[in-house]
Structure 1
Amino acid sequence: MAAAALRHCWRGLLQNSGNGAVGTVRSNIFEGVRQKSTVQYISRPDLPKLAYRRVKGKSPGVVFLPGYGSNMTGQKAEALEEFCKSLGHAYLRRHHWNMEKKDVLFMLDELAEGPQILVGSSMGGWLMLLAAIARPEKTKALVGISTAADHFVTAFKTLPIEVRKECEEKGVWTVPTKSNEEGMYTVSLDFLREAENHCILQSPIPITCPVRLIHGLKDEDVPWHISMQVAERVLSPDVDIILRRHGQHRMAEKDDIKLIVYTIDDLIDKLTTMV
């Protein structure tokens, strides 16, 4: 009952915060009450230490998987942390992007306690799906943001053969983008070869938990129809797709973040009610 009241209050604060939206809530409402999570490190056998941020709390927890090259102090990551803190739910995120499937599984196995809602942005959405397939007992719901399932692999294969040969000689593929300050992503060919082993859109996707897919129609990096393909292939009977008419790839505008928070909030309510 208390959690439901607090959730309703949180929504009211967002709705009444005017143009400041999430930013106002974060800077004013929580100022002096909550502290930002600190970077922690955990050792792994034969692998580099894993840097992460974690807020302990109740279940279901939320695990955020960022996009390729994303800053872990970005707006989505920070807003989700404040939201989870406000309701007392656990929250976990990797401190840097350079994450592979084994890193996500290690986080779920060693750092995430109890059932989790996985939230994946862009390439993080692909990792989210792979993790849900590998750890169905731990994954209770998914929220994909501009989900890039199979995207780099399929996009590379559509390049002219002479361009692909040039990339193979250099060992890297430079992809133009408007989503970062550099104006490009640099993708190694080793990464692409490994990614080929994890493509999932050619057959049914064995995921049965609730799935929410949010995508912008103005996304110039990852076409929105990829989220449609994911929705068509997952086996879950509970799948919703939300298309943002003016949404771009990063989905970092204040109304985008509000939508993401509301979506997670509804899933928490759904999972809690089911229990």
Structure 2
Amino acid sequence: MTAIKHIDGPNGHKLAYARTEGEGPVIVFLSGYKSDMEGTKAVHLEAWAKLTGRAFLRFDYSGHGISGGVFEEGCIGDWARDAQAVIEATCEGPVVLVGSSMGGWIASLMTQRLRHVVGFVGIAAAPDFTEDGFWAGFSDEQRQQIMQDGQVALPSDYGDPYIVTRRLIEDGRENLVLRSPLHMPYPVRLVQGTEDTAVSRETALRLLDHIDSPDLRLTLVKGTDHRFSEPQNLRHIEEAILEVLA
């Protein structure tokens, strides 16, 4: 495993990252909501990058993994600023962004903020989920609760309940990416499982429609769920990255 290092983040928290040296562009993995850089995909892709001699970066947003901060106090804008800070501090040249779930939303924001992006891979990407998923799915009672109390608890298939805050919802509205075209003048690959209950194939199609790219493909993988972490799924991700790099 690559040694863990830290930088001072823009929101006042220590941000943990692991940067593997190798041939560029740097493959940057952006993890999902409440996930971290020790997840199956991040660790597998780091090992694959080492094996193939490619540069790789994984990191934790504030409130995630071993970075500083409290998860429930964060929001999309905070985590996007964290991502930009780590990438700019550790990657001098071109990067390929690989975003999983929420990381696909953060990566979409990075394509509009970073100068040296040369490729994008979305894995069950979940852009705008705070508005189109959480808020759209709330009952009137839940909407009233979050506005009055500042938060609401939602059940999760992946462990403890999600604490969704009013700040997360309101900040999410300032960072929506599916309301206007996303200019990505480089290869883009999107992969999506048909049995994903967290992110629908309709979301993948909306992202496909909004991205302006000369080389864009969406692959639907039958029978695969949101984790997208089975051995055959990991091979799909490797292949998507190689297509973007080529």
TM norm structure 2:
0.88
From 97, 113, 117, the counterpart of 2:96: 117
Q: 48-57 or 169-178, which moves further after superposition?
A: 169-178
Q: 137-146 or 97-106, which moves further after superposition?
A: 97-106
- The AA in structure 1 aligned to 2:14 is K
DSSP-derived class of the 1:47 partner = coil
Residue 155 of structure 2 corresponds to residue 139 of structure 1: no
- The AA in structure 2 aligned to 1:42 is I
Alpha-carbon distance in 2 for matches of 1:231, 1:211 = 9
Residue 223 of structure 2 corresponds to residue 258 of structure 1: no
Structure 2 vs 1, CA of residues 64 and 45 (structure 1 numbering), >3 Å: closer, same or farther?
Answer: closer
Aligned to 1:218: 195
Alpha-carbon distance in 1 for matches of 2:9, 2:145 = 36
From 42, 46, 57, the counterpart of 1:92: 57
DSSP-derived class of the 2:122 partner = strand
- Shift in Å, 1:94: 0.9
Alpha-carbon distance in 2 for matches of 1:158, 1:252 = 27
Please say if residues 61 and 91 of structure 1, whose CA atoms lie closer than 8 Å, have aligned partners that are also in contact.
yes
From 42, 63, 66, the counterpart of 1:77: 42
Between structure 1 and structure 2, the one with the greater Rg is: 1
Please say if residues 10 and 82 of structure 2, whose CA atoms lie closer than 8 Å, have aligned partners that are also in contact.
no
- Shift in Å, 1:264: 1.0
Alpha-carbon distance in 2 for matches of 1:90, 1:164 = 44
Residue 105 of structure 2 corresponds to residue 126 of structure 1: yes
Task: Give the root-mean-square deviation of aligned CA atoms.
Answer: 1.6
Please say if residues 27 and 55 of structure 2, whose CA atoms lie closer than 8 Å, have aligned partners that are also in contact.
yes
Structure 2 vs 1, CA of residues 163 and 95 (structure 1 numbering), >3 Å: closer, same or farther?
Answer: closer
Aligned to 2:176: 199
From 139, 143, 149, the counterpart of 1:170: 149
Q: Which has the higher helix share?
A: 1
- Shift in Å, 1:45: 6.1
Structure 2 vs 1, CA of residues 63 and 185 (structure 1 numbering), >3 Å: closer, same or farther?
Answer: same
- Shift in Å, 1:162: 2.1
Aligned to 2:67: none
The ranges of structure 1 where at least 4 consecutive aligned residues each deviate by more than 4 angstroms after the TM superposition are none
From 141, 144, 151, the counterpart of 2:129: 151
- The AA in structure 2 aligned to 1:40 is K
- The AA in structure 1 aligned to 2:98 is V
Alpha-carbon distance in 1 for matches of 2:9, 2:152 = 30
How many residues are paired up? 231
Task: Give ranges in structure 2 of 5+ residues lacking alignment.
Answer: 65-70, 72-77
TM norm structure 1:
0.79
- Shift in Å, 1:95: 3.3
Please say if residues 37 and 54 of structure 1, whose CA atoms lie closer than 8 Å, have aligned partners that are also in contact.
yes
- Shift in Å, 1:115: 0.7
Alpha-carbon distance in 1 for matches of 2:169, 2:148 = 14
Task: Give ranges in structure 1 of 5+ residues lacking alignment.
Answer: 1-35, 271-275
- The AA in structure 2 aligned to 1:54 is R
Alpha-carbon distance in 2 for matches of 1:46, 1:220 = 32
Q: 224-233 or 168-177, which moves further after superposition?
A: 168-177
DSSP-derived class of the 1:248 partner = coil
- Aligned-pair identity (%): 30
DSSP-derived class of the 1:267 partner = helix
